[in-house]
Structure 1
């Protein structure tokens, strides 16, 4: 058995369906009357001639607005969409009641219940669209939009976005604020990014909002161009960067010499000679085998690979350098690459025995 509330809702839905049929019938009747009047013969009067009607006014076909469920922030956009339909399709809404009936047919949820109840009560504001829209805003959007807009404008900041995006949000809030142009100009300036404010400080400040927006947009675009130019220059310099090695120390006994204009290593710019590749290969092999431990700050070799103690040096190399009285007895270092002849002290047998 249906409850009273269910029967009441069913009655409301039936009433709305009836309203929709009535609106459709009235619209069709008006169109039929217009076509009959245009087709009916006119009384010919020789002194007076009426201009013939060439074609009916073309009205665009628009999709209906989305249903309004009673959400506060959608109230004013919904009414605006309905008013656009009234403006572009005047023949479909010839009376105030037709406009109100169309709006009620687009309500849903609690808004639908409210609109149907007011229509059935035959409320006075259901005979004038402006009064009906004002009552709809009063019920479902009671908060004054001016306050929200004012708070939004005071807290709005550009941040990292572009000035164009900042202007779009600014104008959305400014439309409900009812502020004058000087006030909007000042609060727009306060919300700009600091680097744009610095640029504006060096120029004559615009006196109106539009001029301020245009100048800030030009400055923002120029700053973006400069950032891209700097990034491109950094990438270009990185691509041309070259790795260089220091020349061998003087008196090293190296058989390979380099002129002051030559560089030991250039990546991607020169091809190594066969002799240079062989020299580097032999040097790398020797380093991997003996693995010298080098203190680059003190310019000393502090140790060698573990197998060097029993094979190359007889015992680990370390400690203080030999005294001046120690007689230098060196092993045959002819097989050692010439780049390491300046380190021949490590092959001093007398030094090793002394230690």
Structure 2
């Protein structure tokens, strides 16, 4: 065997050792680079870890809080229910006769008091009164309403005008002086007399004289007269009732 073609074992070992040293140096360099990279990333990882912990704490706190109370819808506004008013009969229409003027106005006033919601405004009251006029009074009321006169401004105004146009006062202050009992009873005569007398400006003595003047001749012929009109009317009614009863018993 040619020794020139046989490698030297020592030389081979040196070569292997050199290669190992080179690889070891490369490994050490790589390890150093890895350590440096890890060292550079530690602050970022620490910051990231802190943020993750904060988020976790926030989520935990949110889950542990009680749920806010549900907002109930606002209550519906309370509206007053329908008002039950007193029911009254049909009002009798007024045709314009003087004796019926004051009763008509009184009936309207009572109706308005019993049904304050239906007749809450002055216009509603005036319209109702004019709508319940008939005959000659209806013609007057229609003309006043269409012309929007002051008489239609309020209940008080229309009643005042009704009294002026159709009331007993429209006959003049001496209307009761011509009143006579005639064939009617003392009670009916006294009612008519009181209605007309209260419109006049007579004093007590004048009213007594007017009442006695219109009283039937067969009443109170032999009686001493009381001083007041009320007492005279009471006595006349008593005498009239006694006389009528006596006549009925005789029949």
* CA distance in 2: counterparts of 1:101 and 1:34, whole angstroms: 26
2:220–2:239 Cα contact (<8 Å) kept: no
Moved over 6 A (4+): none
Q: Does 2:229 align with 1:209?
A: yes
Mapped to 2, the partners of 1:65 and 1:107 lie a distance apart of 10
Q: Deviations over 1:231-290 (max 9, x none)?
A: 47xxxxxxxxxxxxxxxxxxxxxxxxxxxxxxxxxxxxxxxxxxxxxxxxxxxxxxxxxx
Distance 1:34-1:176 versus aligned 2 partners, 3 A rule: farther
Determine the C-alpha separation between the residues in 1 that align with 2:151 and 2:181. 43
State the 1:34 CA deviation.
3.5
Q: Tell me what 1:189 maps to.
A: 212
Deviation at 1:216, TM superposition (A): 1.9
Structure 1 residues 206 and 115: alpha-carbon distance in aligned structure 2, compared to 1, 3 A threshold: same
2:196 is the counterpart of 1:173: yes
Asked whether 1:150 is paired with 2:179, we answer no
Is the contact made by 1:107 and 1:115 (CA closer than 8 Å) also made in structure 2? no
* Match in the other structure for 2:81: 35
Deviations 1:191-228 (A, max 9, x none): 3333333221xx3x211111111222222333345555
Please say if residues 146 and 178 of structure 1, whose CA atoms lie closer than 8 Å, have aligned partners that are also in contact. Answer: no
Contact 1:146 / 1:177 at 8 angstroms: preserved in 2?
no
Q: Higher helix proportion, which one? A: 2
State the alpha-carbon separation in 1 of the partners of residues 212 and 220 from structure 2: 7
Question: Is the counterpart of residue 90 in structure 1 residue 129 in structure 2?
Answer: no
Query: Counterpart of 1:344?
Result: none
- Structure 1 unaligned residues grouped into runs of 5+: 1-31, 37-55, 233-355
Q: Is the 8 A contact 2:152 2:158 kept in 1?
A: yes
| CA drift at 1:188 | 1.6
CA RMSD of aligned residues (A): 3.6
| 2:128 partner SS | helix
**What is the TM-score normalised by the length of structure 2?**
0.52
Q: Give 5+ residue unaligned stretches, structure 2.
A: 1-77
Q: Would you say the 8 A contact 1:79–1:133 is kept in 2? A: yes
Q: If the length of structure 1 is used for normalisation, what is the TM-score?
A: 0.39
Please give the alpha-carbon distance, in whole angstroms, between the structure 2 residues aligned to 1:192 and 1:179. Answer: 18
Pick the structure with greater CA Rg. 2
Partner Cα separation in structure 2 for residue 162 and residue 142 of structure 1: 23
1:281 corresponds to: none
- Which residue does the alignment assign to 1:141? 166
Matched residues in 2 for 1:209 and 1:187: separation?
A: 10
Residue 223 of structure 1 corresponds to which residue in structure 2? 243
Return the alpha-carbon distance in structure 2 between the equivalents of residues 215 and 222 of structure 1. 11
Deviations along 1:64-106, one digit per CA (max 9) or x if unpaired, are 434456x464555443332221122222222222322333443
| 1:223-262 correspondence to structure 2 within 5 Å | 223-227=243-247, 231=250
